[in-house]
Each structure stands twice: as structure tokens, then as C-alpha cells.
Amino acid sequence: MQFNFMHTLAGSLRRLANRMDKESDKIDSLENEMSRFNQSIENNNKELIRFIDKGLKILTRNIKNMESNSYNQIVSYLDLRQRVGHDKVLPRLRGHAISPDTAIFLDDLLKQYRPLRILELGSGFSSAIIALHCLEHGGRVTSVDHIEEFGWIARNRVEAWGAGATFDLVVADLVEQDTPIGKRRFYDLKPVSESGSGYDFVFLDGPPKYVEAGIRANFLPLFAPLLAEGCIVLLDDYYRSGEQEAVAGWVEAGLVEVLVENKDVEKHAAVLRFTRNQG
């Protein structure tokens, strides 16, 4: 009887030992899982710290750039105020309007090249800058816009500045037209050509991007016949891919030479010299 008891007890102990081994395996497995989980948390924390650190560096750089750009715009605005005179009303600039530093760059180019026949595509505050230059140094500007209201706002400002005698406004719809490379949408060439040709300076600031991305690439295929050989073209908004691709295409076609890529002004600008493709 004692033997049976001991045998039963031994069996119970073996079963208990087996259960304890299984539980120990479960504990080991749980500990391993917890270790992997803790390692994952540690890695995620490191990744989060790197992400936050990178974001803070980008944010700091952007804030510094914004501060620098705001300072440049203020300085350029004060310079612009000095150039046009304190008796003239300046509108709100930047945004859809020309930035103060680009207005200064435009004025500097006009003084450098002294053009006599100027074509402006996209009326605005720049119309007054150009017309005032023509009044003081000679020349005439033809300003083109597809929205009559914007054109008349520009004309009224030009006249308020006393430079109306140097300014012509052309309202031209945006239409599909035949070009050597197919149909292209741009300002209607017909009313613009009726206003004159032989332009030796162009300020290309329209049509706006919301009309069609990259639409300004259609300028030279249509308007080249109106330009004088060596015409200087100032292209605004050169930070945009559409404008950069337009210039690359014109260069490849032998239509322009890039003189300056100005990335110091807020929206970037390119200065080009037009040349008729002899190929």
C-alpha cells in the first residue's frame, strides 16, 4: 500500500514538473516577446526623435528664410517707395501681385537696357513701374491682359502716376491658335499685333498659372514675330517647374539665351535674350 502511494506521488510530481516546465517555457516566450516589444518601442522612439529633430531643423531653416525674405521685401518696398516718389500710392504687393524685390529687379533691367518698345503680358502694378520708366527715360509700353477689369485697374494707376501718355492697354482673350508646333492657347495674337511690333523688352508675367499650368511656354511659338532680334525677356515666377521647362524648351529650340537666373528675388526670375532660330 505504501508502494502504491509513493508511485502515485511520484507520478503526480512528474506531471507537476511537466506543467512547471511548460509554464516556464511560456514565461520564457513571454519574456522574449516583451524584450522584442521593448526593443521595438526603443527603435520607434529613436525614429520619432530623428523625425522630430529633422522637422525642427527644416522648420528653423524655413523660419530663417521667411525672416530673410520678409526683410528683403521691406527693404525693397522702401527702395521702391524712394524710386517712384512719396506722392504715389503703392498697392498691396506680393501674392498674385509682383513682389517688391522683383519690381526693383524689373526697374534695374529697364535702366540697364533702356528699351523703347516694351511688351507686358499680364497687367498689374508692374504696368505703372514700366510706364513711369518710359515717361522718365523714353519709350512706350503695351500691356496685355485677358481680364478687362485688371487691365483698367492697371491703366488707372498709370494715369494716376501721370504716365498715361506712355501706356497702351490691349485686352486679348485666351484662345487656341495655330503655331509651328501645333495649336496652342495664349493671348490672342491678332489684337496684340495690331498694336505694334519690334518689341525690344518683354515682361512675361501672364497668363496666371490657374488658367493652365505651363501656359507661358506658348509665348514664343506665337509672339516671336512681334519681337526684335536681341529682345530682352524677363520671366517672372521662375521658381515654378512650368516656367523652367518653358525656358529649357526655348533654349533647346535655339530661341533664347539665358542671361540671368535670379533666385534671390522671392518668386525667382529669368532674364533671356531672344534670337531668331536660323535652323
Same domain, 177 and 261: yes
| CB-based contacts of 91, cutoff 8 Å, min separation 6 | 97, 125, 157
C-alpha cell at 7: 508511485
Q: Are residues 71 and 102 in the same domain?
A: no
Strand (E) or helix (H) holding 120: strand 117-121
| Domain annotation covers residue 279 | no
The tens digit of pLDDT for each residue in 251-263 reads: 999 999 999 999 9
Torsion of CA 111, 116, 120, 124, to 10 degrees: 60
Residue at a domain's end among 87, 122, 152: 87
Q: What is the CATH number of the domain that holds 200?
A: 3.40.50.150
What is the domain range of residue 3?
Answer: 1-87
Residues 249 and 185 reside in one and the same domain: yes
Q: What is the pTM assigned to this prediction?
A: 0.78
Number of domains within the chain? 2
Residue 82 shares a structural domain with residue 97: no
Does 43 map to a domain?
A: yes
Identify the bridge partners of residue 272 per DSSP, sorted by sequence position: 233, 258
**What pLDDT digit, counting tens, does each position of 224-240 carry?**
999 999 999 999 999 99
- Quick one: pLDDT at residue 189? 94
Instruction: Work out the mean pLDDT of the chain and round it to a whole number.
Output: 88
